[in-house]
Structure 1
Amino acid sequence: MRLNDKVAVITGGGRGIGQGITEKLLAEGARVLIAQRQPLDAPLATHPSVAWVDADLSTREAPYEIARAAEDAFGGAHILVNNAGMMFEQSIEDMTEKEWERMMAVNMRAPVFLAKALLPQMRQRGGGSIINIGSIEGIGANPWHVAYCGSKAAVHGFTRALAVDLGVDGIRCNAIAPGWISSDLSADYINAQPDPTQAHDDLMKLHPTGRTGKPEDIGAMVVFLAGDESTFITGQVMVVDGGRTAKLPLPF
């Protein structure tokens, strides 16, 4: 297995995209510390290679609590996956500074300072891999996503900057920009449309692959970026979207 003896820290690793990433990491032999507020569901809760730390990423203390938990549970981390994030739809006229600041705290500040908190552990191990989950909305935009798009574009930017700064330590930093990934939340969104069947069909037409993504699609890319096959790849934003952003829309 490609990640034997490696320890990965993943935020929000117990649900949605994060769970898909966790399951792929475990399948490749990694031990995983999941940092999130919700307790883990079975079978992750009882998995011998999984530990959990209760962490509120909106707080300034969370990155350092997570780093201590990684040291206590597994002796330190080789891999960081900054997966957890939040999203809301809000026009700039209605958005408050408090809402903006919370988005930036969770989506941007937490990943940056978690990388800082884990840096000594990665240096001690001779290097590592930081993988930030961005979004195609860090490249394009949907309506009323000023804060979300801003935060994800920032994730892509600091990914490149960390890659430049940390290369000397043997630490690579890349981002993944997922497109539409199927989940309970995305299904609820489709079902809330006036014509869910038509909405689903229209969504499929946006994807040259003929389908939307699955959490394990992102997990597979994480495993690649965490492993030895990608040691010459750093500072990149890997788009995983079934070709959605490559396809030019037509007005008819």
Structure 2
Amino acid sequence: MTRFQSKVALVTGGRSGIGRAIAKRLREEGARVITAQRGQDTEFECIGVDFNEPEAADDAIATVMQLAGRLDVLVNNAGMMQEQLAEEMSLVDWTRNLTVNLTTPFALIKASLPHLRQTQGRIVNIGSTEGLGSNPKHAAYCASKAGLHGLTRAIAIDHSHEGIRCNAVAPGWIDTDLNIDFIESMPDPKAFKQGLGKIHPVGRTGTPEEVANLVAWLASEESGFVTGQVWTVDGGRMAKLSLPG
């Protein structure tokens, strides 16, 4: 398929994990993909940026326009997670989490809107099932992802009449390098992975490519009547009521 022929896509955090899978999928379908994150990306055109810096979002969008002259798809994927109880977390750390996970997507969207208006572009925000529920010690992460889901709806309401659609994807447990390393750190990785399978109705965890499949559809013309939605990709986990034992 060539759904993104002649289109330009910016994928933040596109150097690894879900972001890398999204970048590859969009490129496979014809898009010119630019990634943005700290450090260099050896596979894609990239923008080295620290999204903790106030001007980072404006600079990133300006660089995309300098490089490509247009923007059709914005994927807000870059994020961070810090495990800490609320009473133990400093306001500095709280602010850093919200800056990366929520304020930066807002700033990128704001800077992108004039250009997306010209191309009838699409925004896909990568939220989380933790914007719908919570794991322990994830107050900042959950708050920021819930906020990102709310921002998604607000942008859709304000700008869909201009041809700019905005949706979010909420992945559950996905087999990124980070999660795989976490499993391997368990005393019994095999048993832990089997346990993960049992809490998912489909019997397994997900892959980055499965998230990328949905992102590509949301960014394409095929989803033209879809906006303001949060799409859960979790193997049915959030739909399953738990039982004791």
TM-score (norm 1): 0.95
Map Cα deviations across residues 213-251 of structure 1 (whole Å, 9 max, x no partner): 111111111110010110100000000111111111111
Residues 1:31 and 2:32 aligned together: yes
Counterpart of 2:161, as a letter, is V
Residues 1:91 and 2:92 aligned together: no
Which residue of structure 1 aligns with residue 154 of structure 2? 161
Give the share of equivalent positions with the same residue, in percent: 50
User: Relative to structure 2, which stretch is displaced further, 234-243 or 201-210?
Assistant: 201-210
Map Cα deviations across residues 100-147 of structure 1 (whole Å, 9 max, x no partner): 00000000000001001111111122x110000000000000000000
Residues 1:71 and 2:72 aligned together: no
Q: Distance in 2 between matches of 1:4 and 1:219?
A: 17
Counterpart of 1:18, as a letter, is G
Structure 2 portions without partners, runs of 5+ = none
Structure 1 portions without partners, runs of 5+ = 45-49
Residues 1:107 and 2:101 aligned together: yes
Q: Distance in 2 between matches of 1:145 and 1:78?
A: 33
Map Cα deviations across residues 25-65 of structure 1 (whole Å, 9 max, x no partner): 00111111101112113xx1xxxxx4211111111111111
Q: Distance in 2 between matches of 1:199 and 1:116?
A: 42
User: Relative to structure 2, which stretch is displaced further, 107-116 or 58-67?
Assistant: 58-67
Q: Distance in 2 between matches of 1:185 and 1:135?
A: 15
Q: Distance in 1 between matches of 2:233 and 2:29?
A: 20
Counterpart of 2:93, as a letter, is E
Residues 1:225 and 2:226 aligned together: no
Which residue of structure 2 aligns with residue 181 of structure 1? 174
Q: Distance in 1 between matches of 2:39 and 2:234?
A: 28
Q: Distance in 1 between matches of 2:29 and 2:242?
A: 38
Counterpart of 2:3, as a letter, is R
SS at match of 1:93: helix
Which residue of structure 1 aligns with residue 22 of structure 2? 21
Give the aligned length.
Answer: 244
Q: CA RMSD in A?
A: 0.9
Which residue of structure 2 aligns with residue 119 of structure 1? 113
On the 8 A contact 1:51/1:73 being kept in 2, the answer is no
Q: Distance in 1 between matches of 2:177 and 2:217?
A: 26
Q: Distance in 2 between matches of 1:14 and 1:99?
A: 24
Q: Distance in 2 between matches of 1:176 and 1:170?
A: 20
Q: Distance in 2 between matches of 1:21 and 1:154?
A: 22
Which residue of structure 2 aligns with residue 47 of structure 1? none
Which residue of structure 1 aligns with residue 232 of structure 2? 239
Counterpart of 2:193, as a letter, is H
On the 8 A contact 1:91/1:144 being kept in 2, the answer is yes
Counterpart of 2:58, as a letter, is Y
Q: Distance in 1 between matches of 2:86 and 2:186?
A: 24
SS at match of 2:87: coil
Q: Distance in 1 between matches of 2:134 and 2:59?
A: 34
Residues 1:172 and 2:165 aligned together: yes
Superposition misfits of 4+ residues, deviation over 6 angstroms: none
Residues 1:201 and 2:194 aligned together: yes
User: Could you tell me how far 1:14 is from its partner in structure 2?
Assistant: 1.2
Q: Distance in 1 between matches of 2:14 and 2:50?
A: 13
Residues 1:134 and 2:135 aligned together: no
Q: Distance in 1 between matches of 2:14 and 2:108?
A: 15
Map Cα deviations across residues 74-125 of structure 1 (whole Å, 9 max, x no partner): 1120110000000010011210000000000000000001001111111122
